[in-house]
Structure 1
Amino acid sequence: MSTFNELQAKRRSIYALGKEVNKTDEELFNLVKTSVKNSPSPFNSQSVQAVLLTGASHEKLWEMTLTALKEVSPSEEAFAATTAKVKGAFQSGYGTVLYFTDRKIVDGLKEQAPLYADNFDDWAEEAMGIGLYSVWMALAEAGIGASLQHYNPLIDEAVKEAFNIPDSWVLRGQMPFGSIEAPADEKTYLADDARFKLFQ
């Protein structure tokens, strides 16, 4: 059993993903649900929503992403490089978790607690970070690699239409995951004295 800090060190951005995952779709769905449900959120608002895509749905997401990227690509050469990245690092995985913020919840909190209204957008982003990090850690614990991507808002409307996403859900990130086919590069760190201070 890894300690929390050992598990954090194990969690890395993995770009060499494969489809050899030793969990069922139902087990993966439960992992995502449990991780997000147990993540804290302001006022217990639970504004973080998640959608798990596997199989044909996972493939469809990344084909849709390539279609959108082709429209904004500056050249054929640039799009060829983008295609290689999308197919080799994201679509090659087993599945993708989509993360959304439910604006209906966030806007409702602004009305219910106007004194804190200016803070709720920031707090929703904090909740998003904690929620998706919890899933990422759970995947790492299961020996599954992942990375976090942000093709929103480019693909927002296509995703909503393809997967019947409620209008109030705003896409915040995509997490392709799968078997780890090659390890991440060694992680480097800034000097501690540039980031941390202790006062006693």
Structure 2
Amino acid sequence: MKEELLNLAKQRRSIYALGKQVDQDNNEIATLIKETMKAVPSAFNSQTTRAVIAFGDGHDQVWEIVRAALRKVVLDDDAFAQTSAKIDSFKAAYGTVLYFTDMDIVHNLEEQFPSYADNFYDWSEQAIGNANFAVWTALAENGLGASLQHYNPLIDDAIREAFGVPASWRLRAEMPFGSIEAPAGEKEFMDDADRFKVVD
């Protein structure tokens, strides 16, 4: 059996120590992300996943929006200092991919195919998960680390306003990426017997 994809999947890890020592330029990275997302499958070829790819000041703005939103809900100063340090680690990265689902497409499909209406949002979540994994793995293949964060819905309105995002785009995740400044720790796996069933 060929295992190139498996080996790349194993290379993809949650990297939290990220930096800006990146060899590729912004256009190369953006092209990689766009082409990877275009190759990802979606139910009915619905292509519901959207992305904002932020570099430089835009990347910094994402994490200052997160910091401001969390300051409103983390009222204890000591707790917020820890939270703010975590935000600094994401801001230290080179860029951020913001992932969205275009809800207009989801709702249109619900209307066109009422028999499947209850499934289209679930299927859009599968599509965005496919995109997350594919982009994350493509970044890892090119020596870039990343992690997947979820500060939505706390930041949705501010992100929409800051980046001119259409109202129909629902924010689902934030992926800071950059140079790998420290490797990921050991990954633990549950027992195969609890997770898989093979039927001959």
* CA positional deviation for 1:112: 0.7
Q: Given the alignment of the two structures, is residue 49 of structure 1 paired with residue 40 of structure 2, yes or no?
A: no
Q: What is the number of residues matched between the two proteins?
A: 198
> In 1, distance between residues paired with 2:61 and 2:121?
31
RMSD (CA atoms): 0.8
- Work out the CA distance in 2 between the residues paired with 1:24 and 1:186: 31
Residues 39-94 of structure 1 show CA distances to partners (whole Å, capped at 9, x for unaligned) of 00111110000110000000011011101100100300110000011102x10100
Deviation at 1:193, TM superposition (A): 0.5
Equivalences for residues 12-161 of structure 1 within 5 A: 12-88=13-89, 90-161=90-161
Give TM-score, length-normalised by structure 2. Answer: 0.98
Runs of 4+ in 1 over 2 A off after TM superposition: none
Give the SS at the match of 2:153: coil
CA contact (8 A) 1:98 1:174 kept: yes
Please give the alpha-carbon distance, in whole angstroms, between the structure 2 residues aligned to 1:43 and 1:62.
Answer: 34
State the 1:31 CA deviation.
Answer: 0.8
Contact persistence 1:32–1:50 (CA under 8 A): no
Unaligned residue ranges in structure 2 (runs of 5+)? none
SS at structure 2 position matched to 1:93: coil
CA distance in 1, matches of 2:119, 2:68: 36
State the secondary structure of the residue aligned to 1:74.
Answer: coil
For residues 107 and 131 of structure 1, what CA distance do their matches in structure 2 show?
20
Return the alpha-carbon distance in structure 1 between the equivalents of residues 199 and 34 of structure 2: 39
Percent identical residues: 54
Gaps of 5+ in 1: none
